[in-house]
Chain A
Amino acid sequence: MAATLGSSPSDLLSNLIPKSFKLKTKQQELLIRVSILCLVYILAFITRLFSVLRYESMIHEFDPYFNYRTTLYLTEKGFYDFWNWFDSESWYPTWPNHRWDPLPGSHGHGRHHLLGPPVPPVHRSHPGTALIAICPGYISRSVAGSYDNEGVAIFALLLTFYLFVKAVNTGSLAWSLASGIWFVGFQHVQSGEHMAAMGVFFLMQVFYLLDWVKYMLSDTKLFQAFLRITVGSAAGVGAVALGLGMASGYISPWTGRFYSLLDPTYAKDHIPIIASVSEHQPTAWSSFMFDFHILLFLFPAGLYFCFKRLSDATIFIVMYGLTSMYFAGVMVRSKGKTTTTGSTRGTSGSKASSRALPDQSQPFQKNGAIALLVCAFFLLSKYVTHCTWVTSEAYSSPSIVLAARGAHGNRVIFDDYREAYFWLRQNTPPDAKVMSWWDYGYQITAMGNRTVIVDNNTWNNTHIATVGRAMSSYEDEAYEIMRSLDVGYVLVVFGGVTGYSSDDINKFLWMVRIGGGIFPVIKEPDYLVNGEYRVDKGAAPKMLNCLMYKLSYYRFGELVTEYGKPPGYDRARGVEIGNKDVKLEYLEEAFTTSNWIVRIYKVKPPNNRW
């Protein structure tokens, strides 16, 4: 059987394998498919281990520490307690009622294969699986140690789409049910952002109802009248329901993040807190190239082939590809989602082009095919080297441990964050409240095990603005705010000694803006000189005496940071600081890490009044 039906690879195999082990074509295909998949899985897994080998098995970014903490709670206390969990360690004193945004799980690796099959219905796309497995855009969200929902979300997204396409292709109710209510929950009824999907759903119902009625009614006039009445009343009822839902608050309004997805400039003008997150910035072109490499060129090619063989499934893929491309352009954060489509398109692009050529009988057919294959091989190998390099250099360094090259080429590790968090954990009272900028909130609760005032779940803008206001006020005003919030310790991040640039002084502009957005006493021009934030002698007087400046530069004026420079030379900003004689009245230095990156101050108890 195998001999008669077998294609060229099975002929090759039949020569290699003894007669008794000869496999059927179907079995050979299965074997090859399974082994390719296994290899791709192994590759995807191994390439994500760079971070563990370079550093250690630890959580990289700021946000996943919350996921880690919830997972820990879930595993320690069990499922029932988890649903009733009241997290008292964050957002003191205005705890959110419930926060279940993440139901964390393990990383989903290259499940692209699931999306592959339905698209070109016969040829499953193993190369696509391989491409996505090592694509940097996806790796940046799913390296070992990036314990985030995005790793799972992309998998869930793909699975939903796979089920959807499958449902469309087969027309089976089971598949459509599976795709429908799997991951989205009840969001599509309750949140304004998902209303559009809801609307489409209703439109479909109306359309099919009308279709059915048209089929039943033979008279065209009667149908026209019916059409007018139904559409009118359906639209009316829909509008009233939407209005009522909005008014009663059952349907949540659009959030700022959603607005900024539609209009990239929206956040900059209206919601500084969203604009302050680097992930929410529009993506630069170079980073598209950095993250997608050849996929960026294969994407249009894939689109072309999708249009060429148009079906329901390919239309879906085209839609998905184009919208995700747009969103990726608007927000860095969405880039991961594009990756999947990019690689799907890329795959079909490359594959189709490599298959297209031999089909047509042209002169130099064989040579042309070989040249094309060599080109494809060259491109793909370039892609692999690029991906490996990007993964190892750019996406495998944890933000919590900083590494630099020493004078002799040796690696110097700055582990100051954990030094400070561990100090908090061990040497402060267990009920101490720590005030810091919200970026460090999750880390302080997870690693320092202490209650924070604000954290990365930026649900309460006013509260964050209060912290921003405290940081940008004079010490005595800030002390009042801190007393009212029951703050025991203040934590600031300072890069002046090491030249670490994402420190609190560089984030200070957002503290002023967010604080000023709610509390008009904070006026941004007070901190600016010629429209610039400065820390040297030319800085604005309010800047030189605000709490953040004092806490960052307390006793920094005595320190010589760089040979040949005056004491108090800030290496992160490259200037000599303007106020070297910082005196603290209401706070005292409690701990400063070995490279000064994290500084913790204790809020003094109020003086006894006689």
Chain B
Amino acid sequence: MGVLLIPRLTLTLTIISLFIFLSRSSSQEILINNAERRIDLSTHIVKVFLTLKFHPTNCVWINMYVELMSFFQVENIGTNAVSEILLAFPPTQADHLAFVEALATTGKRKKKTYVPLVVKPTELPDAPNETKYFSISLVNPLNSGDTTTLEVLYVFTHSLEPFPMEISQSESQLVYYRDSALILSPYHIKQQTTFIKTPTTKVESFTRLDPTNRAGTEMKYGPYEDQPPYSYSPIIVHCENNNPFAVVEELVREVEISHWGSIQITEHYKLVHAGARHKGIFSRVEYQSRPSFSGVSSFKHLLARLPPRVHSVYYRDEIGNISSSHLRTDSQKSDLEIEPRYPLFGGWKATFIIGYGVPLQDFLFESPDGRRYLNFTFGCPLAESVVDKLTIKVVLPEGSKDPSAAVTFPVEQHLETKYSYLDVVGRTVVVLEKKNVVPMHNTVFQVYYTFNPIFMLAEPLMLTSVFFLFFVACVAYLHIDLSIRKGF
């Protein structure tokens, strides 16, 4: 079918793009043969898997993950080689977009291999309705008639809007998800399907755009044929979601390196239940005696995944230790199960601090050019949580020079100075800040710096010399006779 349609599609596309995208030659030349989008609403982090497919020889797949995963097959039908593919987002979604990842697939079936591609935001001068774009750079430019398959995963946060906004303790939480049944794309899409996975089978209502089917926890929009660029058809899904809406409003992680053998990490959390607000009374007797009906949208247990071989773990807040935590360690990872002081209902907040130490040799290495680098995990150790604002402070030892950080995605960086015990010139602190962080950001980053080991001796020397001087003073005092009389 694709083969037959191509000439006509080429024509229409060319005409459309002539009108709409005169400035952008590449757009007109790309055709998405098949797009499959899987939207996963099962947690509060919406993942979209998008797969874009082009004809076997002419295609790009884009696979989109709120867990939105779309599957695009992209085909170059123009005459010029195309080196980048555009993803389009309506402005409301773009504000909540936390993460985009694109993979090019090669090979078939079981021999499929994935090549990660560079994705970066771009601007188009004549974007309709303030559409935001991301461009995916292909490894090999797509020549005319070539196809490729792209899998794109993108993640939205704060996209499930609780409705009703306030619920009582016995009610379960319902949320709205708004999107378009048709994939917003600057390209012509020949065939597309969208699957939406809801957390439970309880769906209050959803917009129909035939063909639409619902079975169990899955809804299917499509397949829709031959949609021109920028087709948009808003849908709304109103479904139950009682998963913990754990949002860390602010997380400050301080990583303090000591060349004496340990890295000390202190994490300050400001946690909030971002779901439907709790209304009216909180009854302990209901909460205790009917756990399956009462407070289903609340949460009490949190899991923090810490590196293996952690030691000196603590969990506290401003008013002292919180006794409800368990640490399980094995050679691969350490799981810290923590409970806030009270169960979190919608709108309730809790702040706490987790601290731990890890052995230096696990995370600090020496690069071939003689510099040292810290290889540490970005993101938030709490499982399935969104961080609105993440600050990572890497406190380098006193005397370190030329710090630089290498992170795979854009973050704000600056330097600070911190004074700790017995510091004279202060420690250099590399501060990395990022908003809207999701678990997909838990990748490693590096901080490089130069350090002369002689500085390690500064503090012990200071201490010993102070004691030495003290004793010298004592000895002097005992041996010197300060009396004015002549002592005979």
Contacts and interface: CB of A to CB of B under 8 A. Distances in A.
B280 A419 contact: no
Contacts of B81: none
A422 B319 contact: yes
A27 interface: yes
B285 A419 contact: no
Interface stretch (B29-37, B346-354, B372-380): B346-354
Given A56-B320, A422-B341, A426-B351, 14 more contacts: A415-B322, A415-B323, A415-B324, A418-B320, A422-B319, A425-B319, A426-B349, A427-B348, A555-B285, A559-B285, A588-B281, A591-B282, A592-B283, A594-B342
B281 A422 contact: no
A427 B319 contact: no
Contacts of A418: 319-320, 341
Contacts of B350: 422, 426
A489 interface: no
Contacts of A555: 283, 285
A81 to B, nearest CB: 21
Contact of B283 (A56, A425, A427, A589): A589
A419 B344 CA distance: 12
Interface size class, chain A: 20 to 34
Contacts of A559: 285, 289
Nearest to B270: A426
A590 interface: yes
8 contacts: A56-B320, A422-B317, A423-B341, A427-B348, A555-B283, A591-B282, A592-B285, A593-B284
A592 B284 contact: yes
A369 B351 CA distance: 65
B348 A426 contact: yes
Contacts of B317: 422
B478 interface: yes
Interface in B299-324: 317-324
Interface string A403-426: 000000000010100110111011
A370 interface: no
A419 B478 CA distance: 57
Interface string A553-567: 001101100000000
Nearest to A560: B289
Contacts of A596: 284
Given A58-B320, A426-B348, A589 B281 contact: yes
B321 A58 contact: yes
Nearest to A422: B341
B321 A56 contact: yes
A418 B321 CA distance: 10
Contacts of A423: 341-342, 348
A447 interface: yes
A440 to B, nearest CB: 14
Interface residues of B, number: 23
A499 to B, nearest CB: 17
Interface in B321-361: 321-324, 341-342, 347-351
B80 to A, nearest CB: 59
B302 to A, nearest CB: 15
Interface in A585-601: 588-594, 596
A592 B348 CA distance: 14
Nearest to B352: A422
A419 to B, nearest CB: 4
A503 to B, nearest CB: 16
A423 B349 CA distance: 8
A415 B341 contact: yes
Nearest to A448: B319
Nearest to B320: A58
Given A27-B478, A591-B342, A421 B319 contact: yes
B282 A589 contact: yes
Interface in A45-66: 56, 58
B285 A422 contact: no
Contacts of A556: 285
Contacts of B318: 425
B323 A413 contact: yes
**Which of A423, A426, A594 lies at the interface centre, i.e. has the most chain B CB atoms within 10 A of its CB?**
A426
A545 B323 CA distance: 37
B320 A593 contact: no
Interface string B452-488: 0000000000000000000000000010000000000
A426 B340 CA distance: 12
The 6 nearest A-B residue pairs measured at CB: A592-B284, A56-B321, A426-B349, A419-B341, A447-B319, A58-B320
Contacts of A594: 284, 342
Given A27-B478, A426-B348, A427-B348, A419 B342 contact: yes
Contacts of B347: 427
Contacts of B281: 588-590
A422 B318 CA distance: 9
A174 to B, nearest CB: 19
B282 A590 contact: yes
**Which of B318, B322, B342 lies at the interface centre, i.e. has the most chain A CB atoms within 10 A of its CB?**
B342
A143 B107 CA distance: 71
Contacts of A30: 478
Contacts of B321: 56, 58
Nearest to B319: A447
A62 to B, nearest CB: 14
A591 B350 CA distance: 15
Contacts of A58: 320-321
Nearest to B300: A594
A558 B290 CA distance: 12
Nearest to B348: A427
A603 to B, nearest CB: 13
A558 B285 contact: yes
Contacts of A592: 282-285
A72 to B, nearest CB: 11
Interface string A305-343: 000000000000000000000000000000000000000
Interface in A1-38: 27, 30
Nearest to A497: B284
A54 to B, nearest CB: 12
Nearest to A596: B284
B51 to A, nearest CB: 43
Contacts of B284: 589, 591-594, 596
Given A27-B478, A415-B323, A422 B342 contact: yes
B282 A593 contact: no
**Which of A418, A588, A590 lies at the interface centre, i.e. has the most chain B CB atoms within 10 A of its CB?**
A418
Contacts of B322: 415
Contacts of A426: 348-351
**Which of B285, B317, B320 lies at the interface centre, i.e. has the most chain A CB atoms within 10 A of its CB?**
B320
**Which of A30, A423, A593 lies at the interface centre, i.e. has the most chain B CB atoms within 10 A of its CB?**
A423
A27 B474 CA distance: 12
Interface in B390-443: none
A103 to B, nearest CB: 23
Nearest to B285: A555
A58 B319 CA distance: 8
A535 to B, nearest CB: 18
Nearest to B339: A594
B236 to A, nearest CB: 31
Contacts of A415: 322-324, 341
B285 A588 contact: no
Contacts of A421: 319
A556 B285 CA distance: 8
A588 B280 contact: yes
A176 to B, nearest CB: 25
A591 B345 CA distance: 11
A427 B298 CA distance: 15
A395 B289 CA distance: 37
Nearest to A590: B282
Contacts of B285: 555-556, 558-559, 592
Nearest to A398: B320
A228 to B, nearest CB: 51
A555 B289 CA distance: 12
Contacts of B348: 423, 426-427
